[in-house]
Amino acid sequence: MPVSCSAKGGAVLTNDELYALCAARHYRIRSLPLQSAPAASLPSGWIAVNPEQLTDPSVEKAVLAHELGHLETGSFSTGSDADHDGRHEERANRWAIRTLIPAPQLCHALESGKVELYQLAEEFGVPEEWILKAFSYYCSASPLSLTEPEQQAVRLLRGYQLAAAAFREAGAPVLAFLRVERRDFQQDGFRLVLDEE
């Protein structure tokens, strides 16, 4: 189960808190000059990190959470033909997303006006690509795999995603027209009202 923060305005996990979580769970972290990846985890509870590849704190946070996700979910390749690495990587990513970017907090950030990708990345202290991964995960996740607060938040996130897609498809001229006059925009049951600027 991911570590969760409070739904509205809860504290975002810091890198130090992730390292403290590793220590509390008795996972050991060691700096190693890995060649092919910035980090790797082992089922025995070790995480190897290459500090030379983790110079950006947001990348360090995402990578550490991903490796911690392997340990927390027990998702490791066994080497058998039936084993699929992609499945293990996906489980680790899901754990990291639910821990670093909880759906209720993501909704709260959007509702507070942080709607640009860079704003959300700054809010959660992760690379922009992880915000996109979070939207993708939450909007495609089965309700059975989510807690009730996550399910409620996901319903809102799907609305944001549909509205954003509809506006992107509409293009700038339509958006300019919508900004000039007060208009309602409705797409797949989601309604947005734009006021004059």
**The pLDDT of residue 159 is above 70:** yes
Query: Is 3 inside a domain boundary?
Result: no
pLDDT at 166: 56
DSSP bridge partners of 48? 30, 40
Q: Give the H or E element holding residue 80.
A: none
Q: Please indicate, yes or no, if residue 147 is contained in any of the structural domains.
A: yes
Cα dist from 161 to 44, 89, 95, 101, whole Å: 39, 24, 21, 16
Q: What is the mean pLDDT of residues 101-112?
A: 90
The answer, yes or no, to whether residue 41 has pLDDT greater than 70, is: yes
Interatomic CA distance for residues 26 and 126, integer angstroms: 24
pLDDT tops 50 at residue 6: no
User: By residue range, what is the domain housing residue 63?
Assistant: 15-194
Q: Let me know if residue 170 belongs to a domain.
A: yes
Does 94 fall in a domain?
yes
Which whole number is the average pLDDT over 48-55? 90
Q: What is the pLDDT of residue 170?
A: 53
Confidence of residue 174 (pLDDT cuts 50, 70, 90): very low
Residue found under tokens 């008795």 = 26
pTM, whole model, 2 decimals? 0.74
> Is 10 within the bounds of a domain?
no
What backbone torsions phi and psi does residue 40 show, to the nearest 5 degrees?
-155, 150
For the chain, the domain total comes to 1
The reply to whether 9 falls in a domain is no
Question: Considering the domain boundaries, does residue 2 fall inside one?
Answer: no
* Percent over 70 (pLDDT), the chain: 73
Q: For residue 45, what are its two tokens?
A: 């509870």
Q: Which residues of 24-63 are buried (b: 16+ CB within 10 A; e: fewer)?
A: eeebebeeeeeeeebbbbeeeeebbbbeebbeeebbbbbb
Cβ count near 142 (within 10 Å) = 6
* Domain annotation covers residue 45: yes
Q: With cut-offs at 50, 70 and 90, classify the pLDDT of residue 129.
A: very high
